[in-house]
Amino acid sequence: MMLQIPEVLTKAEVADLRRLIDAADWVDGNVTSGTQSALAKRNEQLPEASPAAREAGERILDALSRNPLFVTAALPQTVFPPLFNRYAGGQTFGLHVDNAVRQSPDGRVRIRSDLSATLFLTEPEDYDGGELLVEDTYGVHEVKLPAGDMILYPASSLHQVRPVTRGARVSSFFWIQSMIREDAQRTLLFQMDIAIQQLAGKVGAGAPELVSLTGAYHNLLRMWGDL
């Protein structure tokens, strides 16, 4: 399942975060690449241990914890500390798939990457190119979102970033280990939870049928949950 999550950060929060990270020192993006990715990756990145990266990452994690759509869709167990990249001057990231396991340099965070996320930090009119292309069984999906919006998609997907030919594309990217390993099960629970919320607004949360449906949701979560 691919899902756009709007306004993870407000415009003011994006502007504050950009002032923080734009003033930091950036390095070659291949510092976090696997062998295959290094062949296709041409961008810049904030070092994971950078104070600016750590502070900006904490702001994003805080925003995610307050975002009900993200929580409903991802059912997060662990969110990898957000990283930051920048594309300019023709830089690109060719077709690749993300590593199945991610570990922070200090070894404190080690996750199975069930979901990938890109949080856009540049307005789309401020750069040319830079579209995120994600492949699935329905074809190739092109993503270029307003600053503050985020795309969430299965980490098993083949994806790439088109060359940026004007301006700079700045974003945060990270991975999530979900309580639900299988994408199909996670999608079903997401659809079910959204329907429950919509029905609650129409018939009231205490309706017996809604209580039964909510119980079924939690029993499926209990059955499939990987904690």
Q: φ and ψ at 65, to 5 degrees?
A: -65, -20
Same domain for 192 and 157: no
Whether residues 23 and 135 fall in one domain:
yes
Q: Let me know whether 24 and 116 are in one domain.
A: yes
143 with 66, same domain: the answer is: yes
Task: Give the domain-ending residue among 141, 159, 178.
Answer: 178
CATH number reported for the structural domain that contains residue 157 in this entry? 2.60.120.620
Q: Does 212 lie in the same domain as 101?
A: no
Is residue 111 within 8 A of residue 101, CB to CB? The reply is yes
Tell me the two tokens of residue 211.
């209580």
Quick one: 108 and 208 in the same domain? no
Predicted structure pTM score: 0.93
Q: How many domains does the chain have?
A: 2
We report the CATH number of the domain holding residue 203 as 4.10.860
Q: 210 and 164, same structural domain?
A: no
- Do 115 and 207 lie in a common domain? no
Q: What is the chain's pLDDT, residue by residue, as a tens digit (227 residues)? A: 999 999 999 999 999 999 999 999 999 977 655 555 556 789 999 999 999 999 999 999 999 999 999 999 999 999 999 999 999 999 999 999 999 999 998 888 999 999 999 999 999 999 999 999 999 988 999 999 999 999 999 999 999 999 999 999 999 999 999 999 999 999 999 999 999 999 999 988 889 999 999 999 999 999 999 98
For 29, the domain range is 3-178
Same domain, yes or no: 191 and 84: no
Q: Do residue 46 and residue 155 come from a single domain?
A: yes
Does one domain contain both 35 and 80?
yes
Would you say 130 and 164 are in contact if contact means Cβ atoms under 8 Å apart? yes
CA distance 98 to 47: 19
